[in-house]
Structure 1
Amino acid sequence: MLELNPDQLLALAFSFLLPFFRIGAFLMALPLFGSQLVSVRVRLIFAFIIAIIVTPVVPIPEYDAISPAIIPLIAEQLVIGLVLGFVVTVLFQVFALAGQLAAMKAGLGFAMSNDPANGVTVASMGQYYMTMAGLAFLGTNGHLVMIEYLVESFQYWPIGEGFDSERYWDIALLGGWLFEKALLVVLPLAVATLIMNLSFGVVAKASAQLNIFALGFPIIMVFSLWFFWIMLEDFLNIYRLFFQELTDWLRLTLGASIDG
């Protein structure tokens, strides 16, 4: 008959709770799953199931389960989970920022809509890009890939390793990557609208009696909507390219070995 003393039961419980905290924080920060559209109870159930599966293969350092040393370990797992979820959020924010910039260039910045997932008001084009990115994320099994990276994080970022400031600095540099890719997405539209505005300026100078504002604004708006429609053909390829760059960053920076 298997017998466990209270100390063994306590150590077993904490060996489950430490991965559970990391997985739960990751699901709370993961786009779509961490939004208001998914209840906290559902996320906790998913975190509980994943933690039960991965706990037997997670290396747990030696520690006293009832000592204050367990508090930094719990905080470490929460931070790591939030960091991994934040990395995926950066990918989504690339398209949200691209939509905001595109809306301003197209003269559609006044068209605002409510984002039920995050509870904020954003430009309609930004919400449109976010929706497309979410569909691409689920359609290409991006959530499964990120869960694989999360499970493997117990190998390349093991429990008890501590807080490496260099890693967090590399994560902060993702902000530059975000702005770079968002500008690349919207750059063709920005250049096209700039050329059209310059052309309308020349026309207005040559024919002062022509109401160029009444003529130019609807033309630029129609052209921008046509550009968005044309971009639909390559949207999935753009998303895959950015997602591949993000997984390459995870392999080079954090040491992950899964080929996303």
Structure 2
Amino acid sequence: MEELVPSFAAYLLILTRVTAFFVTIPLFSYKAVPTTMRIIFGALLAWMLVYAIDIPPIEIDGNYILLVVKEAITGLAIGIIAYIVMSAIQIAGGFIDFQMGFAIANVLDPQTGAQSPLLGQFFNALAILLLLALNGHHMLLDGIYHSYQFIPADQLWPAFGEGRLAEFVIRTFTMSFAIAFQMAIPIVATLFLVDLALGITARAVPQLNIFVVGFPIKIGVSFIVLVAVMGVMVAVMKKLFEVMIISMRDLMILLGGG
């Protein structure tokens, strides 16, 4: 019984980090994945990690409560930093929808349960399929496994409360915003030129109802440009996945005091 308690204590710590990770990480946190399946998968993954990770015996005492809180915050932080990077896809779709005039037709995203732009939802579905095709879900699971090399389960954060963590989150958000702008700039710049041409046409031909003619023209030009740059979009999404994995690793290093 004395040997069972430390093992059960270690399992609870690992289960806390894994389940918190699944709450926020892209793909696994989506509402399309049933909660029961997430709990079962998290429990099985934690059970496997108990035997894959060398954790010394842990006593259930007052310090154990702090370890549980630390594990929950660690799992949430790793998942949130990945979600921030992946949100660049939704931001890019919002930029494009605003220029196309689709911003008034936001729909409910069944994956996240939040309002989402039309093209943002399309890009998000494309990114999920691409992530699965590239075995990105395996890399995400590798991330939670390797997190124990940087942040041991039996130790509190050496870097908790340092300013570097806040600076890293802000820098990651800024980088995600820049990537979203790079994804949207081909279509946004083209639509700016279309708006400029329509404005000149409206001044040259006042009899023409430019609002009636301009809306379908902007939509048609947007889809043409979108098809033309789809290969670039996919390449940027691949780069975004690399940035997501690197950001997760850097966050683990920071939380581990590196």
TM-score (norm 1): 0.88
Alignment match, 1:41: 36
Return the letter of the residue paired with 1:229.
V
CA RMSD of aligned residues (A): 2.0
Return the letter of the residue paired with 1:142.
G
Alignment match, 1:231: 229
Please report how far the alpha carbon of residue 22 of structure 1 lies from its aligned counterpart in structure 2 after TM superposition: 0.6
Question: Aligned partners of 1:37 and 1:9: how far apart in 2?
Answer: 36
Which is further off, 147-156 or 29-38?
Answer: 29-38
Q: Deviations over 1:57-87 (max 9, x none)?
A: 434366531x221111001111111111112
**Where do 1:194-213 residues align within 5 Å?**
194-213=192-211
Q: Deviations over 1:19-48 (max 9, x none)?
A: 111111111212222122112221111111
Q: Say which of 48, 51, 62 aligns to 1:53.
A: 48
Please report how far the alpha carbon of residue 250 of structure 1 lies from its aligned counterpart in structure 2 after TM superposition: 3.8
Please report how far the alpha carbon of residue 211 of structure 1 lies from its aligned counterpart in structure 2 after TM superposition: 2.1
Alignment match, 1:26: 21
8 Å contact 1:59–1:154 — kept in the other structure?
no
Q: Say which of 119, 123, 137 aligns to 1:125.
A: 119
SS of the residue aligned with 1:109? helix
8 Å contact 1:37–1:116 — kept in the other structure?
yes
List, as ranges, runs of 4+ consecutive aligned residues in structure 1 with deviation greater than 6 Å. none
Q: Say which of 169, 181, 185 aligns to 1:171.
A: 169
- May I ask how many residue pairs the two structures share in their alignment? 250
Return the letter of the residue paired with 2:176.
L
**Where do 1:98-177 residues align within 5 Å?**
98-159=92-153, 160-162=155-157, 163=160, 165=162, 166-177=164-175
SS of the residue aligned with 2:108? strand
Which is further off, 244-253 or 11-20?
Answer: 244-253
Alignment match, 2:62: 68
SS of the residue aligned with 1:136? helix
Question: Aligned partners of 1:169 and 1:77: how far apart in 2?
Answer: 22
Please report how far the alpha carbon of residue 223 of structure 1 lies from its aligned counterpart in structure 2 after TM superposition: 0.5
8 Å contact 2:17–2:72 — kept in the other structure?
yes
Q: Is there any run of 5+ residues in structure 1 with no aligned partner, and where? A: none
Question: Aligned partners of 2:21 and 2:250: how far apart in 1?
Answer: 20
Q: Percent identity?
A: 24
SS of the residue aligned with 2:18? helix
Q: Say which of 218, 224, 240 aligns to 2:216.
A: 218
Question: Aligned partners of 1:54 and 1:84: how far apart in 2?
Answer: 17
Which is further off, 242-251 or 18-27?
Answer: 242-251
Return the letter of the residue paired with 1:116.
P
Please report how far the alpha carbon of residue 244 of structure 1 lies from its aligned counterpart in structure 2 after TM superposition: 1.6
Measured at CA, do residues 60 and 168 of structure 1 come closer, stay the same or move farther in structure 2, by a change above 3 Å?
farther
Question: Aligned partners of 1:120 and 1:249: how far apart in 2?
Answer: 24
Measured at CA, do residues 168 and 143 of structure 1 come closer, stay the same or move farther in structure 2, by a change above 3 Å?
farther
Please report how far the alpha carbon of residue 122 of structure 1 lies from its aligned counterpart in structure 2 after TM superposition: 2.0
Q: Is there any run of 5+ residues in structure 2 with no aligned partner, and where? A: none
Question: Aligned partners of 1:233 and 1:194: how far apart in 2?
Answer: 22
Alignment match, 1:9: 4
Please report how far the alpha carbon of residue 9 of structure 1 lies from its aligned counterpart in structure 2 after TM superposition: 2.1
Measured at CA, do residues 111 and 209 of structure 1 come closer, stay the same or move farther in structure 2, by a change above 3 Å?
same
* Higher RCO (CA < 8 A, seq sep 6+): 2
8 Å contact 1:108–1:221 — kept in the other structure?
no
